[in-house]
Amino acid sequence: MGKGRLEAFSDGVLAIIITIMVLELKVPHGSELSDLRPLLPVFAGYLLSFVYIGIYWNNHHHLLQAAHHISGRVLWANMHLLFWLSLVPFVTAWMGEHPGSQAPVIVYGVVLLGAGLAYHWLTTALIGVHEKGSTLEQAIGRDGKGWLSLLLYVAGIGASFLNVWLSVLLYTAVAVLWFVPDTRIEGRLGKGG
């Protein structure tokens, strides 16, 4: 089964998710620079989520590049990932409109956690359709960065009971962690040809 349409469909969904988030930046009624001030938390949330979707697109791009074939299970693992990511605009808007509130920060973390687990399952499903010791499997390795991210999401959710800004800091830390694209695969692909 070819991976072309899986990539095209995922590109489409991710492009839409990343773009409709900007619709939450509601045009202010006033025309002064100061009228943009109430939008700052929404804008900050947009920036963080834009980087997150960008990271997922980058990693998805690297992951699929290392894959040679897919399966029905991979299609659904991918759809499951897109489901979680499709909730990002909703939670971003909720968090942006209630800066400092705990519940949106928790739900934001849960959605990131869901997406993180979904990505992990997609990786596992992809490795499963390749031979043992494939470039893909070697490239992913033990996936320490993936596990650390999941841990930081859980920590972020827990931290919201102390201070919601600590949660936001932890979520941002994961984004920084992944900002550099997945050099594991890039390296392997470079070596392997």
Q: In the complex with a second copy, which residue's Cβ is closer, 151 or 184?
A: 184
What does DSSP assign to residue 100?
T
Q: In the complex with a second copy, which residue's Cβ is closer, 143 or 151?
A: 143
Q: Which of residues 100-159 bind a second copy (CB under 8 A)?
A: 101-104, 106-107
87 vs 24, 71, 106, 107, 187, CA distance in Å? 13, 25, 14, 10, 32
Does 61 sit near a second copy (CB under 8 A)?
yes
- Per-position x/- string for 18-57, each x denoting binding to a second copy as judged by CB under 8 A, each - no binding: xxx-xxxx-xx--xxx-xx----------x--x---x--x
Tokens of 97: 């409109």
Residue 134: CB atoms within 10 Å: 18
Does 193 sit near a second copy (CB under 8 A)?
no
**Taking contact as CB under 8 A, which single stretch among the options 99-107, 112-120, 124-132, 168-176 is the one that binds a second copy?**
99-107
What does DSSP assign to residue 143?
-
Does 87 sit near a second copy (CB under 8 A)?
yes
- 3-state secondary structure at position 119: helix
Alpha helix (H) ranges present in the chain?
4-20, 40-66, 72-86, 88-97, 102-128, 135-140, 144-159, 164-179, 183-192
Q: Contact residues for a second copy (CB under 8 A)? A: 1-2, 5-9, 11-20, 22-25, 27-28, 31-33, 35-36, 47, 50, 54, 57-58, 61, 64-65, 72, 75-76, 79, 82-83, 86-87, 89-90, 93-94, 97-98, 101-104, 106-107, 179-181, 183, 186, 189
